[in-house]
Amino acid sequence: MVEARRFPIGEPILEVKNISLRFGGVRAITDTSFNVFRHEIRAIIGPNGAGKSSLLNCINGIYKPQEGTIALNGEVLDKISPNIVARKGLSRTFQNLALFKRMSVLDNILVGRKLHMSANFLEVAFRLPKAVHEERENRAKCEEIVEFLEISHIRDTPVGRLPYGLQKKVELGRALATEADILLLDEPMAGMNVEEKRDMCRFILKVNDAFGTTMVLIEHDMGVVMDISDNVVVLDYGKVIGDGPPDEVRADQAVIDAYLGVAHD
Amino acid sequence: MTDFLFFIEVVVAGLLAGTMYSLVALGFVLIYKASSTFNFAQGAMVFFAVLAFVGFMELGLPFVVAFFVTIVLMGLVGFFTERLVLKPLMNQSEDTLLMATIGLGFVLEGLAQAAWGVEVRRLDLGIGDFPIPWIIDSTGLFISALDLTAGLVAAVLIIGLALLFKYTKMGLGLRAVADDPGAASSIGIPLGNIMLLVWTAAGIVALVAGMMWGARAGVQFALVDLALKALPVLIIGGFSSIPGAIVGGLIIGASEKVLEVYVGPYFGGAIEGWAPYVLAIFFLLWRPEGLFGEKIIRRV
Amino acid sequence: MNSNFLFMGYTRSDVINLVVVLAVALILIPLTIESDYWYASILIPWLCLALAAVGQQIVMGYAGQLALGAAGFMAAGAFACFNLILRVPYMPFPVALMLSGLIAAAFGVLFGLPSLRVRGIYLMVATLASQFFIVWMIDKFGWFKNYDTSGIITAQDIVIFGKPFTTPLEMYLVVVVVVAVLTILAINMTRGSTGRSWMAVRDMDIAAESMGISLLRTKLQAFAISAFFCGVAGALFAFTYLKSLEPVAFDIKLSFKILFMVILGGLGTISGAFIGAAFILLFPVVLNSLGNNVFHGAIDATIISAAEQVVFGALIIVFMIYEPLGMTKLWENVKQRFRFKREPKATLPKPQVT
């Protein structure tokens, strides 16, 4: 990162404060706080069961944490649900793929444009100019995304028939289509081979560079994460045990003990 | 005082009638527990079983023989269902399985009518549908002998099944299969046998329920619609709970009678047809997993 | 791709299909078919039930909500239409038809509310409540039936702009126009952002919500529109086919029939509603005429109706196992194979291997 970034890292865009989440008696997350800064690529790492996905699900409003607050763009979200959070400019992908299986690749990505399309069902039913116009514009946008992700050849295939790696790409495309300020990517490279991983990294960097999108990604592969992220949060047993630039985190004794140490055993 | 007695009478009649719903619901629960399948065909099985039973009786078979022949027949139904419907649909979504069992219900209804015709049959179990004199004498309540018998039979069946589930090796296997069919079969639990057994048990329950209902209202197609009421019962009790089926049936039975007698007249009567469903909706909004069901946490 | 769009986002083949279908329905059929039997007993009920099946398709095939109460909404539409024409002076039939649909839609929203909390069989039971409640309500309150003592009332004649439409052919034309217009609207919705939201909710509700789709709005909208279609279909069915109206004509059996049309025809396709309706309606006719003509009545009518049930049930199972997307999908497969043979150079998309 020598050359100047088009979108330099700015003020906090997402503030997680003292979040605690329990399922019955099981503590998934305990008193977790950290900030994500505008335009940065942020990784959340940690061993299996450290609460990474649960944390993302809290931010996105799928799980309701018992304690703590989440602020987006400086505004504390009190009534939090996935659809409200989406309207505030946050989009995401899912760990175990959550695509619309029977819909085509292009239609999946078009769903991501939902918030940019305002024609109501009557306008759509009667194909009034507004509906036709916005359909055409948003379709064109999605075609661009499809091309950008190099998946034009499968644009009309139902996603359920695609191999895993391509589905992951489609999901990224759908998240990109929202043009959200901040993207949460839950293990975007899980189950991919080296080449696919390299591709995915390239796309993530490209998007960040081209649109200044803030990225929060969960990843298992330490090497990948250290290379592309600006800052890293390390979770263990639902607690933050490290937060900072990759090099700092890598040198942190607590992190080495909890995560790296185990990994190198 | 007579008003209160009358109320008690209504409630008791409702509770006893409710045991019949419980019986049908019990069949649903058995199959749901073993295979996570909502067996929509349970109502059709009630109709099929009792029609077959009456048919065998008409052929001149004695009561007991007809009863056991019908049980064997229900076992066969279970066998073919397992082979032809459930096995090919393994690992499909719940909705797909549900629709397949709706199809199964139609097949059974059609087969029953093709084999035994559509006219209403009388079924005489030797138990009258009239109040028992000694209960009138001692308490002043008018309670039908048939209702009381149905209640007792239901109680015996339910206790028997509950014990079977809890304390036998087979019951343990059954619960293992319900939890994870793949894992269960990999440790040597014979999946097919267990399914066959469960469907046969559900068939027996269906037969008994059909006999009770048939004795009261005649053996006829309308039984299928009556059996539909087991669905609200299940929603109230929870799909996976035997006590739930019982309590749900009692709640539906009692409340539908009470509503019909005390609220019905204001609306022109016959609200029994929909009251259980509306009751179920309120339960759904309040406690979607049912009174005894396990709370479902959807993981993402 | 975009160059293929002729106007309003329709492609060339869309327009050709539409013109062909309308030409057949409005010109070819009226010119060639003279028998009233065909109009009154086959074409009219087919189109009416297909329209109801489109409604069922919207809520179940597109929005993925397992609802079982189409006949209840049809009843609401039918009796609403009867009462509107009876009680509102100068009420034009097309307006009454629209309003009937809207009244049914209101019921749709009301009984769609449980879909916000439950799914699958739970929802099915909740929607059964609407089926039983609506039919009971019409049955119990004499007002709906104009206090007719027999309980069976006769639908009024259809009059549009002063012209009565009373012969089977005339009524058929009315039905065709209404069904065609509503079907086009349905196709537009399913192809546009409205339908995409429904399907997104069907395929993966949590992801849909994360893309900013409100589950509440989308589900209730699907229920309302579905009930609207059923309501209009019910009114048409009553006014052009049944003629004499009684609530029991809209019992749970009809709801099951419409459910079967959608499942057998193919979930998630508008054409599936029409194919399914044709099959469910025609199969008994074929079976009956087989019984009469081939076996010369040697087979009992009971057996025939029982056989019909067995076949429908068995087909549901077979389709669930082998082709959950129904007859439409089968037809597409056949077409694809045919096309492939004719043009061996056509490139089929390569199967993706992981």
Average pLDDT over residues A24-33: 89
Residues of chain B predicted below pLDDT 70: 1, 140, 293-300
- CA-nearest residue of chain B to A54? B300
Measure B80 CA to nearest chain C CA, in Å: 13
Name the minimum distance, in Å, from the CA of B18 to any CA of chain C: 18
Q: Cβ–Cβ of A94/B297 closer than 8 Å?
A: no
The residue ranking higher by pLDDT, A102 or B289, is A102
CB contact under 8 A, A162 and C268: no
Q: Which residues in chain C have their CB less than 8 angstroms from residue B234's CB?
A: 125
- In-domain check, residue C256: no
Within a domain: residue C244?
Answer: yes
Pick C268's closest partner by Cβ from A60, A102, A110.
A102
Q: A98 vs B300: CB contact, 8 Å cut-off? A: yes
Residues 6+ apart with CB under 8 A from B200: B71, B74, B75, B78
Give chain C's domain count. 1
Tokens 């058995």 found at: B30
What is the value of pTM for the model shown? 0.91
Q: Which of B204, B210, B208 minimizes the C-alpha distance to B226?
A: B210
- Domain containing C120 equals 31-250
- Check: CB of residue C71 under 8 Å from CB of residue C248: no
The two tokens of residue B169 are: 């090796």
Q: Are strands A67-72 and A12-23 parallel, antiparallel or unpaired?
A: antiparallel
Structural domain includes residue C326: no
Full pLDDT tens readout for chain C, 354 residues? 444 566 677 888 889 999 999 999 999 999 999 899 999 999 999 999 999 999 999 999 999 999 999 999 999 999 999 999 999 998 999 999 999 999 999 999 999 998 888 888 888 888 988 999 999 999 888 888 888 877 778 999 999 988 999 999 999 999 999 999 999 999 999 999 999 999 999 999 999 999 999 999 999 999 999 999 999 999 999 999 999 988 999 999 999 999 999 999 999 999 999 999 999 999 988 888 887 887 777 777 788 889 999 999 999 999 999 988 889 888 888 888 777 655 444 444 444 443
Residues B245 and B33: their CA atoms lie apart, in Å, by: 12
SS3 assignment, position A184: strand
| Residues from chain C contacting residue B105 (CB–CB below 8 Å) | 313
Domains located in chain A, CATH noted = 9-89+180-265 (3.40.50.300), 99-178 (no CATH)
Phi/psi for C163 (5° steps) reads -100, 125
Reference C287, options C262, C305, C312; nearest CA is C305
| Residue of A81, A92, A101, A111 to mutate when probing chain C, most C C-beta within 10 A | A111
Please report residues of B whose CB lies closer than 8 A to that of A95.
300
Residue B297 is nearest to which of A23, A96, A98, comparing CB atoms? A23
A134 to chain C: which residues are within 8 Å by CB? 193
Query: Which tokens sit at A265?
Result: 């055993």
Give a yes or no: residue C128 inside a domain. yes
Shortest alpha-carbon distance between residue A255 and chain C (Å): 32
- Is-contact A68 A19, C-beta < 8 A? yes
In whole angstroms, give the CA distance from residue B105 to residue B221.
12
Interface of A with B in 158-197 (CB under 8 A): none
Q: Is position C21 within any domain?
A: no
Cβ of residue C221 closer than 8 Å to a chain A Cβ: yes
Copy the structure tokens of residue C68: 């079982």
Q: What is the residue whose two structure tokens read 């199964």? A: B104
Distance from CA of A61 to the nearest CA of C (A): 9
Residue B128 distance to chain C (closest CA, Å): 31
- Closest-CA residue to C275 (of C334, C232, C203, C222): C334
Q: What is the pLDDT of residue C165?
A: 94
Cβ neighbours of residue B28 under 8 Å, at least 6 residues apart?
B38, B39, B42, B202, B230, B234, B239, B245
Tell me which chain B residue has its CA closest to the CA of residue A62: B300
Inter-helix orientation angle B242-258/B275-286, to 10°: 130
Tell me, yes or no, whether C276 lies in a domain. no
Residue range A53-80: mean pLDDT, rounded: 90
Sign of CA dihedral B56, B61, B63, B69: negative
Partners of B297 on chain A (C-beta within 8 Å) are: 23
Q: How far from A250 is each of A223, A231, A264, C305, CA to CA, in Å?
A: 11, 11, 13, 75
Tell whether C336 is covered by a domain: no
Residues in contact with C109: Cβ distance below 8 Å, sequence separation at least 6, in sequence order: C220, C223, C224, C227
Res B295: pLDDT: 63
pLDDT at position A20: 93
A35: tokens are 């900030």
Q: Structure tokens of B279?
A: 């009751």
Confidence of residue A262 (pLDDT cuts 50, 70, 90): low
Residue to mutate among C10, C193, C213, C220, with most A CBs inside 10 A, is C193
C188 contacts A125? CB cut-off 8 A? yes
Contact between B300 and A53 using a beta-carbon 8 Å cutoff: yes
Chain C residues whose CB is inside 8 A of the B280 CB are 125-126, 129
Q: Indicate whether this complex's ipTM tops 0.85.
A: yes
How close is the nearest chain A Cα to the Cα of C239, in Å?
26
CA pair distance A136, B155, nearest whole angstrom: 65
| Residue contacts between B and C (CB atoms, under 8 Å) | 128
Residue B298 with chain A: CB contacts under 8 Å: none
Question: Using the beta-carbon criterion (under 8 Å), do C203 and A99 form an inter-chain contact?
Answer: yes
Is B203:B71 a contact under the CB 8 Å cutoff?
yes
Nearest Cα neighbor of B118 from B226, B257, B220, B230 is B220
**DSSP-derived pairing of the beta strands A214-218 and A41-45:** parallel
Q: How far is A127 from chain C (nearest CA, A)?
A: 7
C313 and B285 within 8 Å at the Cβ level: the answer is no
Whether C69 is in a domain gets the answer: yes
* Residue C309 with chain B: CB contacts under 8 Å: 106-107, 109-110, 113
Give the span between the Cα atoms of B91 and B36, in whole angstroms. 10
* Residue corresponding to tokens 């279908």: C21
Q: Which residue has the tokens 């979200």?
A: A77
Which element (helix H / strand E) includes A14?
strand A12-23
Q: Does C280 touch chain B (CB under 8 A)?
A: no
Do the Cβ atoms of C208 and A100 come within 8 Å?
yes
**Closest CA of chain B from C77, distance in Å:** 20
Number of helices (H) and strands (E), helices first, in chain A? 11, 10
Identity of the residue numbered C106: A
Contact B228, C128 (CB under 8 A): yes
Q: Which helix (H) or strand (E) holds A144?
A: helix A129-148
Q: What is the pLDDT of residue C6?
A: 60
Task: Identify the residue whose tokens are 């995915």.
Answer: A200
* Greatest Cα pair distance in chain C: 70
Mean pLDDT of A53-58: 92
- CB contact under 8 Å between B297 and A98, yes or no, is no
The predicted pLDDT at position B296 comes to: 57
In chain A, residues with a C-beta closer than 8 Å to the C-beta of B92 are none
The minimum CA-CA distance between B132 and chain C, rounded to whole Å, is 34
What are the chain C neighbours of A99 within 8 Å (beta carbons)? 203-204, 207
> Which chain B residues are closer than 8 Å to A62 by Cβ?
300
Which residues of chain B does C324 touch, with a Cβ-Cβ cutoff of 8 Å? 96
Measured between alpha carbons, how far is B246 from B282 in angstroms, rounded to an integer? 19
